[in-house]
Structure 1
Amino acid sequence: MDIVRPPIRIAILAGRRDGFENWELMVFDRILSDPRFLLVTILVHPDPFGDRRASSLFGLQSRMERKALARQGKYAPISFDPAQQRFDDLKPMAAGARGNTQAQALVGKIGLDMVIRLTPQGLPGDAVGSLSYGEWAFTFSDQRSERADWYGYSDVIEKKPATKLTLYARQGNDAKAAQISSASFNLKISAARNTAFIKERAVTLLMRELGRLADTRQLVTAPLSEQVARPPSLFDLARYAGGLSNHLASRVAKAARAKARSGSAVWTLYTGQGRIDEFDPTQSVEIPPIAGDIKADPFLFQHEGECYLFYEAYADGDAKAHISVGRFNGDKVEPLGVALDCDHHLSYPFIFRDGEDIFMMPEAHQSRRIEIWRCVDFPLKWELYSTGLEGLSAADSILTQYAGKWWLFTNVSDFHAYEDHCSELYVFEVDGPKLDHVTPHKRNPVVMGSTVARNAGRIFERNGRLFRPSQRNAHGIYGYGLNIMEIEQLDLENYEETCIRTIAPDFKSGLLGCHHFDAAGGRYVVDARLTI
């Protein structure tokens, strides 16, 4: 029997009463729509930015970049109405004051459990000390002034593989900071766009951790070692502008090639003998692309003593892909034809057996549902068998049986402005391929971050261990690398996994990425990227 707990009483610490960003409105909305929480008030800080300053040139550049490269439609709140919402203005602290009795008294008077801070400046230590769960904030909230936001700029300038997002809390009378959760995200061409994208992801991360707190009433933290980045210098801005110009020029050239129906990303396949816990890609043999048949997302299937290859297939310049199939003859693949073609894009043809039936669950996120197809005449004839997660944008889905249950692993894009399937892994307990009964994991999304979250092939059980291939999207490249994750705990309330191996695109010359693994009958296959 579930224990009925009173809602957690939350305040938001903001720097204004209006003009909120989309991600902030989304936070208000989701807290208000969840009965586990009560948004008591929005506290308005009298000096939200403190002494944080950025140069006038960077402020101008930042505003122009946001308008040009990070523009998005306005989020329309469903539950949040500023006319109905309580606001409380905090009084300025006297010069040299060590505390703010008004803030502390207000926190105690309205009975707050925690504060979510949107501003660089937080509550005074005595007020934080009176909060049961402290004051929460994201690292990007610390890296801004009144006119500029420099979160992520140093990562782009220094060409780091990814940008890290951290949610942390200040607790106790000393208001010491500690990490609650973190995730890393692949870099976009623009730091402003990168920040806007990560802020949207931050909403999901925040709500997941608030849900964990509401269920357990325990805040588990780890040491926080990150340093707050400073605004870019004039030299930094010059370096950044040069890199951004080059990126934009390459984007324009790529768009021109796409308009001329050419310039699609080219992938190739490599195959060899081995299993997920013991394969060596340096010893693999290439299955090269051919004109009109670029291959990616390969899945293997053993049938009547033969090994078949199902894969995403497309020609240079195609607007969408379909699923093709071939049969292995040694290390070469004999093409057999098109297995599945739809009006929408298809990829990631996860193929599996359940009893006597053969099923395929291709990626079909443009249909806004998961589709499972049943084979009626192997390997070229299929019929739609079931659908699930109607209305959601889900990609690269996998079904696996573990501990007597069926589990669905899928990458759902929870988005307003930035659809993305690389950043969030969702798990559901299901009744099998029928998908009549779908129960979400209590900690969805169970994994966040583009360096680990996206599925990269089927899940394998080997010698009592459970392995999940995942994509490592980093260095500004989709499909840069491949992880082998070991799932250590899987039930409806808990999920734990650890990365035990990463394969970079250096096992053969001329590769720019690798992002998929599958194996069957002692053979494995990976794909590798030849062009961006």
Structure 2
Amino acid sequence: MNWEAALNAKAKPASNRKPQARPLRIGIARAIGQTFENWELLLIERLLSDRRFRLVAFLTDPAPHHAARPGLLARTVARLDNSLFARQPAYRARRFERARSSIVSIPLDETGENSDRHRLQLDLVLRHCEGALPETLTDSLRFGVWSLSHVFTQSGPVNWEGMGDVAEGAPTSHLSLFVETARQPERRAIAAAEFNVKFSAARNNAFMKEKSVLLLVRELRRLAETRKLPKPLKAADVVQPAPPPGLLTTGCYAAALAKNVTQRALKSVRRASHQDTAVWTLYSGRGSIDDFDPSKATEIPPTDTAIKADPFLFHHQGKTYLFYENYGRGDTRAHIAVGEITRRGFEPIGIALGGEEHLSFPFVFKHGDEIFMMPETHQRKRIEIWRAVSFPLIWEPYSRALEGWSAADSTLFHHRGQWWLFTNLSEHHAFEDHCSALYAFQVDGPELNRLVSHRRNPVVIGSATARNGGRIFSRHRRLYRPAQYNAHGIYGYGLNIMEIEHLDMEDYRETCVRRILPDFKPGLSGCHHFDASGSRYILDARLNA
């Protein structure tokens, strides 16, 4: 059971709930003899567990063909890459195992109005194999043929997705969801996402395939509710699948892979000897989220025992307090510390929260007369809120939510009479990752007794913008969300300022109005968090190793 099913199981039935529409009747087109990949099994499990869908048939291509085929060198490199860096445990699709006998399998070349396929009355087909589908099939589909971009970068067992990105040093890899209909047979993108590039193309591809299930299922749910195809994205926002790599690209990729593997090996040695510690520093200045200038900020430098990240400011009784993730060189976990920013500079006070697990992102806020903290506790597999007993050092547990789920960098805010919880959940099989999906919930406030999932969850997909980078701000009737820009293979490479343009239970839209890169001061390799209180702001930045 995933998090949404768990929440729905606890939810009370709504008295004004609309009658359930007929489920979307879905077919999946696959090459004959093709082994189910983990991402496909994950997708099938999602379809079988959701009443909005009915997986009716597998449409098998008895003579699969490929419009493009990589050369021998590219195939050899891709196979070696995959065997070394993309291995993962097999996904156990229990629902599929039980329901498999009820899903029919029909060859794609069986055409005609009297065929079994015609009587299936499919609404759409998910294409999992490259190549054109018969017109007799596409003409009968109300919502056309849907394809993920990685389908078009695979020839048999060889997939070259990401080879060009790694070879060229691209900041991100792109995923697109395409649709083709009888009326508009050309491929049109209806959704897209960007992901941080991995050190290996095979690992990059396996990661993106797993995350592509989030994008596809979200858009299928939207279709099931609206019964309308989404509007196509603007051409400028669409990246088409890459063609097979030639000799030059393959050679450049092999060299880049060798370099990346060597760097990772050296980093592992340094980490084992506690010599590879990410060192962050803080910068503070005067300004707000819509006008701050980090080049004019003053540094609050780290020490060997106090490396500071994820800073949050809190103004209380005339004093400005700074809460932050604190750790020392060689430490494997962090605690929450607090200090005060005075006219003389920064003065540490002590430990606010500690424990056996890693703690970070100490989001501090006030509600009524009480002060609360919601730190990141993903190692405890839940969201926790703590209440101040004796501010700023003594706190007690107050509430918790999403028990059993891995959540990171959560923030709570009140907007137009409604409390919202934004959090980065990791729904995963082989790749635990908190940077790829942002989830929104309506809640009843800090008590967290009532959580209602947003209808478009995850509302943001892709590591370029999904992960929270601080609290939500309301400024001049505009709503802003700091978000991490994870790119160039670096966690926390940059910081986005996202403006939330629309937020209700039916829809969510945001746009990036500013991006801060680690070039505002010398010697930086990343920046990923922002906060402000009154006229003062603070952000963190990663120092070059």
- Deviation string 1:425-467 (CA, Å, 9 cap, x unpaired) is 0000111111111111111000111111100000111111111
Q: SS at 2:155's partner residue?
A: coil
Return the alpha-carbon distance in structure 1 between the equivalents of residues 241 and 294 of structure 2.
40
Distance 1:130 1:320, change over 3 A: same
Q: Residue 326 of structure 1 contacts residue 334 of structure 1 at CA under 8 Å; is this kept in 2?
A: yes
Change (3 A) 1:226 1:488: closer
Aligned to 2:335: 322
* Structure 2 residue 245 is the aligned partner of structure 1 residue 235: no
Distance in 2 separating the partners of 1:449 and 1:430:
24
CA contact (8 A) 2:112 2:136 kept: no
Partner of residue 266 from structure 2, selected from 249, 253, 258: 253
Q: Which amino acid aligns with 1:528?
A: A
Q: In structure 2, what residue type is equivalent to 1:165?
A: L
The SS at the match of 1:452 is coil
Report % sequence identity: 49
The CA deviation at 1:226 is 3.8
Is residue 485 of structure 2 the alignment partner of residue 485 of structure 1?
no
Which SS does the other structure have where 1:434 is aligned? coil
Report whether the alignment pairs 1:158 with 2:175: no
Match of 1:96 in 2: none
In 1, the alpha carbon distance for the partners of 2:431 and 2:89 equals 10
Q: Is the 8 A contact 1:472 1:483 kept in 2?
A: yes
Other structure's SS at 1:242 match? helix
- What does residue 97 of structure 1 align with? none
Matched, 1:361 2:374: yes
Counterpart in 1 of 2:188? 178
Q: TM-score, normalised by structure 1?
A: 0.96
- Of residues 467, 471, 479, the one that matches 1:458 is 471
Could you tell me which residue of structure 2 aligns to residue 439 of structure 1?
A: 452
Q: Partner residue of 1:86?
A: 103
- The residue matched to 2:441 in structure 1 has which SS? strand
Is this contact kept in 1: 2:106–2:117, CA < 8 A?
A: no
1:144 counterpart = 2:150: no
Cα distance in 1 between the residues matched to 2:309 and 2:363: 12
How far apart are residue 87 of structure 1 and its match?
A: 3.7
Q: String of CA shifts for 1:494-527, please: whole Å, max 9, x gaps.
A: 1111111111111111111110000002100010
What TM-score do the two structures reach when normalised by structure 2?
A: 0.93
Which whole-Å CA distance do the structure 2 matches of 1:521 and 1:110 have between them? 62
Task: Spell out, residue by residue over 1:386-418, the C-alpha distance to the aligned partner (whole angstroms, 9 max, x if none).
Answer: 110111110000000001111000000110000
Deviation at 1:227, TM superposition (A): 3.5
Equivalent position SS for 2:211: helix
> What RMSD, in angstroms, separates the aligned Cα atoms of the two structures?
1.6
Task: Verify the 8 A CA contact 2:112 2:118 in the aligned structure 1.
Answer: no
Report the secondary structure of 1:429's partner residue: strand
Q: Which residue of 1 aligns with 2:36?
A: 20
Other structure's SS at 1:253 match: helix
For 1:60, the aligned partner's letter is T
Letter in 1 for 2:456: R
Q: 1:157 to 1:113 in 2, by over 3 A?
A: same
Deviation at 1:180, TM superposition (A): 1.4
The alpha-carbon deviation at position 493 of structure 1 amounts to 1.5
- How far, CA to CA, are the matches of 1:103 and 1:74 in structure 2? 39
Q: 2:435 aligns with which of 422, 425, 432?
A: 422
Shift of 1:22: 0.2
Structure-2 residue corresponding to 1:406: 419
The equivalent of 2:225 in structure 1 is: 215
1: CA distance between counterparts of 2:232 and 2:505? 24
Q: Which amino acid aligns with 2:200?
A: S
Matched-pair contact (CA < 8 Å) for 1:49–1:144: no
Report the Cα offset of residue 103 of structure 1.
8.8
User: In the TM superposition, what is the alpha-carbon distance from 1:124 to its structure 2 partner?
Assistant: 2.4
> SS of the residue aligned with 1:450?
coil
**1-structure distance, mates of 2:452, 2:94:** 25
Query: Structure 1 residue 27: deviation in Å?
Result: 1.0
Q: Is the contact between residue 184 and residue 451 of structure 1 (CA under 8 Å) also seen in structure 2?
A: yes
Q: Is the counterpart of residue 270 in structure 1 residue 280 in structure 2?
A: no
CA distance in 1, matches of 2:480, 2:413: 11
**In 1: Cα distance, 2:113 partner to 2:426 partner:** 39
CA distance in 1, matches of 2:264, 2:360: 24
Q: How far is the alpha carbon of 1:218 from its aligned partner?
A: 0.6
- The counterpart of 1:67, out of the listed 54, 58, 83, is 83
Instruction: Give the Cα–Cα distance (whole angstroms) in 2 for the partners of residues 11 and 22 of structure 1.
Output: 18
CA distance in 2, matches of 1:309, 1:490: 30
Q: Which residue of 2 aligns with 1:115?
A: 125
Secondary structure of the corresponding residue to residue 395 of structure 1 = strand
Contact 1:446 1:495 in 2 (8 A): yes
CA distance in 2, matches of 1:72, 1:247: 20
Q: Greater shift after overlay, 216-225 or 328-337?
A: 216-225
SS at match of 2:362: strand
Task: Output the CA distance in 2 between the equivalents of 1:60 and 1:184.
Answer: 27
Task: Report the equivalent of 1:370.
Answer: 383
Could you tell me which runs of 5 or more consecutive residues in structure 1 were left unpaired when the two chains were aligned: 93-99
SS at match of 2:229: coil
Q: Quote the Cα distance in structure 1 between the aligned partners of 2:162 and 2:114.
A: 33
Q: Distance in 2 between matches of 1:531 and 1:214?
A: 48
Q: Does the C-alpha gap of structure 1 residues 399 and 268 become closer, same or farther in structure 2, counting only changes over 3 Å?
A: same
Aligned to 2:322: 309
* Worse-superposed segment, 71-80 or 16-25: 16-25
Shift of 1:215: 0.6
Task: List per-residue Cα deviations over 1:71-98 (Å, max 9, x = no partner).
Answer: 1110000210275143434255xxxxxx
**Secondary structure of 1:211's aligned partner:** helix
Q: CA deviation at 1:297?
A: 0.4
Aligned residue number for residue 499 of structure 1: 512
- Give the letter aligned to residue 27 of structure 1: L
Structure 2: gaps (5+ residues): 1-15
- Taking a change above 3 Å as real, the CA distance of residues 104 and 186 of structure 1, as seen in their structure-2 partners, is farther
Aligned residues: 525
- Choose from 405, 411, 419 the match for 1:392: 405
Distance 2:436 2:241 in 1: 24
Residue deviations 1:358-405 (CA, integer Å, cap 9, x gap): 111001101000011111111111111111011111000000000111
Superposition deviation, residue 173 in structure 1: 4.4
Report the 3-state secondary structure (helix = DSSP H, G, I; strand = E; otherwise coil) of the residue aligned with 1:47.
Answer: coil
Task: Answer yes or no: is the 8 Å Cα contact 2:77–2:254 preserved in 1.
Answer: no
